[in-house]
Amino acid sequence: MAVVDSDARLLGKLRISDDAAGFQDLLRLLAEHGDSPDDPVPVAIETSRGLLVACLRATGRRVYAINPMAVARYRDRHVVSGKKSDHHDAVVLANVLRTDATLHRPLPSDSDLAKAIAVLARVQQDAVWDRTRAHNRLRSHLREYYPAILEAFAGKRERLLAREARAILAIAPTPAEAARLTCARLRTAVTRAGRQRRIDAETDRLLQVFRRTWLRQPSLVEKAMGRQTLALLAQLDAACRACDDLARDTEELFLQHPDAEIITSFPGLATLTGARILAEIGDDRTRFAQARGLKAYAGSAPVTRESGKSRHVIHRRIKNNRLAATGRHWAFAALTASTGAHAHYNRRRDTGDRYHAALRNLFNRMLGQLHHCLIHHHKYEEAIAFNQPAQPPVTAAA
């Protein structure tokens, strides 16, 4: 770490360990140079996570997380030879805060409940991505020797993620074992997977698929690939359980937040997607004073590149990827949940926007509406959001 004053003079430097003793050394050095509870010294650091950051924020000081790419640009202002060291980077960070503090945002002062929701929502989103990767690996492997199981569940929405598919793979990981399945054993597997309707019809359909003629690997190779399938299936089952358990915990915690009622009042935002939105924007309303800052953070606001007579408007690539991914799901779900959102999407398509651009524009508009509602503590109203006239009540006369 390095401490500088307003004239860029180096007041002190120190290498600390990432533990309680190192944190005490840090506070001691800051106190020697004017740090006090009434006027804490702000800190610039290259990460927004970790115990050190949490303890620094607990002292009440402003902590600025500076992007390492930005630090690299600032480093070139001081040294053009490419020299780099930890001490020099600490001095660069301190000077970034000294000269350009107004251009960087301090870490938001979110409540502990919002931070806990962020932890669960992000790890649940990671679990969903892990589940997708595990599913793709299993599907790619089954294509090499077991096309029958892929054909059997090709028409299902969840494909191999369906409980029935995983239950059948567990008892018949090879085409040979699937062809030898009896009607009773297959019916038991389908029932245990949770199916309650048309069990006999589904069982007969699956038996017909498994007993058709398919291309096969050599017997010994097929058995080995079946063992690999069981290993991949175990990973997929674990990922599915983690997704379900974390989703339940995330929703339960999110519903305790006072902003949950406002967020879920928006069309297309369910409890889980609402929790992901809150996890990324937080509940510190001073973080985004205007809606355009939130839109830029989410990546829904376009970027203008202008030089002389050249002017290009393109979509933003530097953004919060988690919030942008949730925004795509939100905008897509809003198409069927809101007539105003659907009409706005159609207008954007009529003006020449492609599918993703129209969805991004819809997300941009609804994100601005969410910002307004959170600031003023209002629920969503369709008539105000999209200037939709209230629908007259349906009456009948005989």
Q: Where are the domains of the chain?
A: 2-103, 116-252, 260-385
Tens digit of each residue's pLDDT (9 = 90 or more) over 219-244: 999 999 999 999 999 999 999 999 99
Place of tokens 């970027």: 303
Residues of the chain where predicted confidence (pLDDT) is lower than 70:
388-398
- CA 311-313-314 angle, to 5 degrees, is 135
Closest C-alpha to 369, from 380, 383, 356: 380
Show the DSSP H helices in the chain as ranges.
Answer: 20-32, 51-58, 68-78, 86-100, 112-142, 147-152, 163-171, 175-179, 183-192, 199-210, 219-254, 260-263, 271-281, 291-298, 321-337, 339-350, 355-376, 382-385
Closest C-alpha to 376, from 291, 319, 277: 291
Residue 280 CA to residue 322 CA, distance in Å, equals 8
Closest C-alpha to 57, from 323, 282, 226: 282
Q: Are 80 and 60 in contact (CB under 8 A)?
A: no
Which pLDDT score is estimated for 396? 52
Give this prediction's pTM: 0.85
Residue 378 CA to residue 370 CA, distance in Å, equals 9
Tens digit of each residue's pLDDT (9 = 90 or more) over 247-289: 999 999 999 999 999 999 999 999 999 999 999 999 998 889 8
Which pLDDT score is estimated for 397? 54
Q: How many CB atoms within 10 Å of residue 15?
A: 10
Q: What does the DSSP assignment read for 199-244?
A: HHHHHHHHHHHHTS------HHHHHHHHHHHHHHHHHHHHHHHHHH
Which pLDDT score is estimated for 393? 44
- Nearby residues of 64 by Cβ (< 8 Å), 6 or more positions away: 42, 43, 44, 45, 96, 97, 101, 104, 105, 106, 107
Which pLDDT score is estimated for 39? 87
Residue 201 CA to residue 213 CA, distance in Å, equals 21
Which pLDDT score is estimated for 388? 61
Residue 73 CA to residue 95 CA, distance in Å, equals 13
Backbone angles phi, psi at 56, to 5 degrees: -65, -40
